[in-house]
Amino acid sequence: MTPYSISQLFIVKFVKNIRETFVLSLRKLLFLGRYKELIIFPRWRILVQTKNRAVVGILLMVFLFFVILMVFATFTVKVFNDESKVFDSQNKRGQIAVIEVSGPIMQAKETVELLEKAEKDKSVKAIILRINSPGGAVGPTQEIYEEIRRIDSAYNPEDKTASGKPIYASFDAIAASGGYYLGAAARKIYASPGTLTGSIGVIMNFTDLSKVFEYFKVKQTPVKAGKYKDIGSPHRSMTNEESGLMNKMIQVVHKQFMRDIEATRKEKLTKEILELAQGQIFSGEEAKELGLVDELGSLWKAGRDIHKELNLEGEFALKYIKKKKKSGFWDLVDNLDQATTNIRLSTMVNYMPMLIFGK
């Protein structure tokens, strides 16, 4: 039995004893005198003598003490959680890890943690990044790209002490813009013929609401230190100089995008990267003809090919690595905090987005 299970059983038994004491105390209160009011607590119906304030006070103190103990027990159980409780590895027999990237890429933390988990897992011989994303913010996408390159570049089949793992990419329904950016970091890309990919480009959206504010007679008076501090503000039109500055920055990020693709695929492309990086959307079949994709096939075809390529022993199986879902009190608080963060990020996207969305 693990230390975690022993501690958990101890806490459960402790809380159970407290609860029994609490119930016994409540039952004793029923014989104190006449009762004129019915108060309903969860699971218990208790008659309380309204004239006896001391009894009511003691009852409330016991109840409060019980609640505090429950919170303490939940927190203590959480403390005993270790890394094995954070990650969930489905199909432990699999030697090929699958890490899923789904939806807009707005944060790098979770994907990077899963990559590091797969890297440290000695039973994992290769990693497949399963991408189903239209793109996302530039910064997080580049952070994940760098982590993929680090792990993949460190792989050396001749050196048994090497910590790296070969990383492959498998495109789902869509892997556009930032989604393709991540795929380009892998040593080989698989996609279905109908997968939507490409959209290699950068976009920023600004909304000029100055006429709307003028119509409703709303005037903003910014107080700023720095000539360009309110650049892109919805309360006024952007000047030609400001527009030029933003376009210059966009071009720099666009060059970074193209440079990172060429770092791994320059010899595979059938056309110049600048011609392919104008935001066009390609099907998986078209992308293969252009050298943006290596093979046409599903996730399972990719897994079987990798199993054969690396001469892995045993039966082919995929091992999904995910963050474990939790339902504890403090995990609920964490989830609420994460939801708030996501809403805040969505709001930021509407006002100052620097995105590589596949649109």
Q: What residues act catalytically?
A: 177, 229
Structure tokens at 182: 């991540």
* 3-state per-residue secondary structure call for the chain: CCHHHHHHHHHHHHHHHHHHHHHHHHHHHCCCCCCCEEEEECCEEEEECCCCHHHHHHHHHHHHHHHHHHHHHHHHHHHCCCHHHHEEEECCCCCEEEEEEECCECCCHHHHHHHHHHHHCCCCCEEEEEEEECCEEHHHHHHHHHHHHHHHHCCCCCCCCCCCCCEEEEEEEEEECHHHHHHHCCCCEEECCCCEEECCCCECCCCCCHHHHHHCCCCCCCCCCCCCCCCCCCCCCCCHHHHHHHHHHHHHHHHHHHHHHHHHHCCCCCCCHHHHCCCCEEEHHHHHHHCCCCEECCHHHHHHHHHHHCCCCCCCCEEEEEECCCCCHHHHHHHHHHHHHHHHHHHHHHHCCCECCCC
Please report, for residues 177, 269, 359, the alpha-carbon distance to residue 289 in angstroms, rounded to integers and kept in the order given: 18, 9, 22
Find out whether 155 and 166 touch, Cβ atoms under 8 Å.
Answer: yes
Residue for token pair 């959480």: 78
- Measured between alpha carbons, how far is 22 from 20 in angstroms, rounded to an integer? 5
